A and B are shown apart, each in its own frame.
Chain A
Amino acid sequence: MSLDVEAVRRDFPILATQSRGRPLVYLDSAASAQKPRAVIDAMSDFYAEHYANIHRGVYQLSAEATRRYEDVRVRVARFVGAPDPNEIVFVRNTTEAINLVARSFGDVQIGEGDEIVLTTMEHHSNIVPWQQLAERRGATIRVARIDDEGVLDLEHLASLLGPRAKILAITHVSNVLGTINPIREITALARERGVATVVDGAQAVPHQTVDVAGLGCDFYAFSGHKIFGPSGAGVLWGRMELLEAMPPFLGGGSMIETVSFEKTTWAKPPQRFEAGTPDIASVIGLGATIDYLAGIGMDAIDAWEHELLAYATDRLLEIPGLTIHGRAKDKAAVLSFALDVAHPHDVGTILDAEGVAIRAGHHCAQPLMEHLGVPATARASLAFYNTREDVDRLVAALVKTRELFG
């Protein structure tokens, strides 16, 4: 199945708008992706015709809202290959999912002198919760190196999975370098050594088929807003036996079995981890985006993005003085780059004036910036709705930047 990019573009109303008087070229999907009409309509229909609180009402409207919400759990489980829909916990975003694991799993598993292993290419959201955990429990953070191409040093990683290592938290795809880590191989290493694995899938799920059971990890987290769904709905998948043993993250309504002032007993997962009224409409929107993506086919998306990535890489390298950070062979459609004559922030502003939206900054990955020896990078991140013409507009704007600064 191949992808008809012009047809796809018509599904995204924002792609027909203008920015600074020019047709918008949106190259910041790694920060947050745009939304198809199907998602916008699903949320608006839900509010207009089906909205009520869930898991509470005795009336039909609430029962119907609950059914729709729980049905998304089933579809999400199928979409990411989770064996049991009750292993899908709805959270706000990847950050919240990782914090949940660090608190509910980490606080129990990690003791003084234990080690938590990360990698140089982690996003702050997969660093800070572990540092906080290490501080609470007197544990140590160890960091696996990457090479000059932006590829993880597997030997070094393996050497860190020693007897004190208890948790490995690793990104599936780097939000800066685009590197796709060999998660299956890595989780096999960790499993042999009894190390639990937490995978940050925020940048993987938008680009490729993900099968959490096949990956062999213990936890997998991603955000709805990066897979063309609404902000406010994210997913934590965890193995049921682990989830069952974990105490709640937040306390309140919905997550209990019985409450008395003497003792409260927890509901089973996933309800145990969904305290309070969730972002119901966003979960409905998440269901719509998953159906939409399944309709296009993740393999078709993957294939088109790889074609686009190869084209963009070649075109960018035509520009004198441009360096691409991250040259892994196995790479998602994320291009971080530096232009010798202009700071990334200036590049971002000039591209903005040309109607081209990219990200400039440290991308919430300051340790990686330090490793690269730069304060910031410019980043163009592609999605399946981008075209060769988008890449051409990017290149033309960069050429203009050189003229202005050269």
Chain B
Amino acid sequence: MDDLRELYQATILDHNKKPRNYGPLEDATHEAAGHNPLCGDQLTIRCHVDAEGRVDALRFEGQGCAISRASASLMTEHVKGKRIEEIDADFERFHELVTGSPSEPPRSEGLGKLAVFAGVREFPMRVKCATLAWHALRAALEGREEAKTE
């Protein structure tokens, strides 16, 4: 149960139940769907990039497990107002956090609330759930229509 509490932290359960920035986004400049064929998780990320290259608005919708929903919700809060290069760097750090070795202390500098996903390291089968929204966001910003986790 300890590993479970570590994985399903209160923040994650809360964002699963009440996802932030959920729903359609009017005036989106970028949009992509993320699909995890293994478990059927499916979500769409829409965002608006301003003249200075900052993501000043983004929202998501779709269906998925608690990890993928909470990850999408917390990601939208985390990256709002950031430049694309900053978001890429965040994704890299986030990816390291969820795929790192469980025997070493998790490194979550600069990730803020996203640190709650450190527990995913104990459940390698769930890494794709945690990173789905990020893959979709990156696809959207790169002008692709779809991101698949495999």
The answer to whether A405 and B66 have CB atoms under 8 Å apart is: yes
Q: B99 to nearest A CB, angstroms?
A: 17
The residues in A between 333 and 367 inclusive whose CB is less than 8 angstroms from any CB of B are 342-346, 349-350, 352-354, 360-362, 366
Q: In whole angstroms, how far apart are the Cα atoms of A19 and B140 in the complex? A: 40
Q: A364 to nearest B CB, angstroms?
A: 11
Asked if B126 is at the interface of the complex by the 8 Å CB criterion, the answer is yes
Q: In whole angstroms, how far apart are the Cα atoms of A360 and B41 in the complex? A: 12
The answer to whether A362 and B67 have CB atoms under 8 Å apart is: no
Asked if B115 is at the interface of the complex by the 8 Å CB criterion, the answer is no
Instruction: Tell me whether A345 and B8 are in contact in the complex, defined as CB-CB below 8 angstroms, given that A360-B39, A361-B38, A375-B42 are known contacts.
Output: no
Q: In whole angstroms, how far apart are the Cα atoms of A375 and B67 in the complex? A: 15
Q: In whole angstroms, how far apart are the Cα atoms of A353 and B42 in the complex? A: 25
Asked if A24 is at the interface of the complex by the 8 Å CB criterion, the answer is no
Asked if B125 is at the interface of the complex by the 8 Å CB criterion, the answer is yes
The answer to whether B129 and A345 have CB atoms under 8 Å apart is: yes
Residue of A nearest to B6 (CB): A353
Asked if B4 is at the interface of the complex by the 8 Å CB criterion, the answer is yes
Q: B120 to nearest A CB, angstroms?
A: 10
The answer to whether B126 and A375 have CB atoms under 8 Å apart is: no
Could you mark each residue 36-72 of chain B with 1 if its beta carbon is under 8 Å from any beta carbon of chain A, else 0?
A: 0011111000000000000000000001111100000
The answer to whether B39 and A349 have CB atoms under 8 Å apart is: no
Q: How big is the B interface, by class? A: 20 to 34
The answer to whether A342 and B66 have CB atoms under 8 Å apart is: yes
Interface residue SS majority, chain A: helix
Could you mark each residue 2-15 of chain B with 1 if its beta carbon is under 8 Å from any beta carbon of chain A, else 0?
A: 01100110000100
The answer to whether B4 and A375 have CB atoms under 8 Å apart is: no
The answer to whether A361 and B40 have CB atoms under 8 Å apart is: yes
Q: In whole angstroms, how far apart are the Cα atoms of A276 and B7 in the complex? A: 48
Instruction: Tell me whether A345 and B4 are in contact in the complex, defined as CB-CB below 8 angstroms, given that A375-B39, A375-B42 are known contacts.
Output: no
Q: In whole angstroms, how far apart are the Cα atoms of A400 and B8 in the complex? A: 13
Residue of B nearest to A347 (CB): B65
The answer to whether B4 and A350 have CB atoms under 8 Å apart is: yes
The answer to whether A353 and B1 have CB atoms under 8 Å apart is: yes
Asked if A173 is at the interface of the complex by the 8 Å CB criterion, the answer is no
Instruction: Tell me whether A343 and B65 are in contact in the complex, defined as CB-CB below 8 angstroms, given that A349-B125, A353-B3, A361-B40 are known contacts.
Output: yes
The answer to whether B8 and A404 have CB atoms under 8 Å apart is: yes
Asked if A227 is at the interface of the complex by the 8 Å CB criterion, the answer is no
Asked if A308 is at the interface of the complex by the 8 Å CB criterion, the answer is no
Asked if A382 is at the interface of the complex by the 8 Å CB criterion, the answer is no
Q: Inside 8 A of B40's CB, which chain A residues have their CB? A: 361-362, 366, 369, 375-376
Q: A399 to nearest B CB, angstroms?
A: 13
Q: Inside 8 A of B1's CB, which chain A residues have their CB? A: 353-354, 400
The residues in A between 5 and 43 inclusive whose CB is less than 8 angstroms from any CB of B are 20
The answer to whether A361 and B4 have CB atoms under 8 Å apart is: no
Q: Inside 8 A of A361's CB, which chain B residues have their CB? A: 38-40
Q: In whole angstroms, how far apart are the Cα atoms of A404 and B8 in the complex? A: 8
Q: Inside 8 A of A349's CB, which chain B residues have their CB? A: 4, 7, 123, 125-126
Q: Inside 8 A of A376's CB, which chain B residues have their CB? A: 39-40
Q: B5 to nearest A CB, angstroms?
A: 9
The answer to whether A345 and B13 have CB atoms under 8 Å apart is: no
Q: In whole angstroms, how far apart are the Cα atoms of A376 and B67 in the complex? A: 15
The answer to whether B41 and A375 have CB atoms under 8 Å apart is: yes
The answer to whether A343 and B66 have CB atoms under 8 Å apart is: yes
Centre residue among A20, A346, A350, A400 by max chain B CB count within 10 A: A346
Q: B137 to nearest A CB, angstroms?
A: 21
Q: Which of B13, B41, B129 contacts A405 (CB 8 A)?
A: B13
Q: Which of A362, A375, A404 contacts B13 (CB 8 A)?
A: A404
Q: B142 to nearest A CB, angstroms?
A: 26
Residue of B nearest to A366 (CB): B40
Centre residue among A20, A344, A353, A376 by max chain B CB count within 10 A: A353
Q: Which of A353, A360, A369 contacts B4 (CB 8 A)?
A: A353
Residue of A nearest to B122 (CB): A353
The 10 closest A-B pairs by CB, nearest first: A375-B40, A343-B65, A345-B65, A353-B4, A376-B40, A346-B66, A345-B39, A346-B65, A361-B39, A362-B40
Interface residues of B (CB under 8 A from A): 1, 3-4, 7-8, 13, 16, 38-42, 63-67, 123, 125-126, 129
User: Can you list 22 pairs linking A and B with CB atoms under 8 Å apart?
Assistant: A20-B3, A342-B66, A343-B64, A344-B39, A345-B41, A345-B67, A345-B129, A346-B66, A349-B7, A349-B123, A349-B126, A350-B4, A350-B8, A353-B1, A353-B3, A353-B7, A361-B38, A361-B39, A375-B63, A375-B64, A404-B13, A405-B13
With A20-B3, A345-B67, A376-B39 given, can you name 13 additional A-B contacts, CB distance below 8 Å?
A343-B65, A343-B66, A345-B64, A345-B65, A346-B65, A349-B4, A349-B125, A350-B8, A361-B38, A361-B39, A375-B39, A375-B41, A404-B8
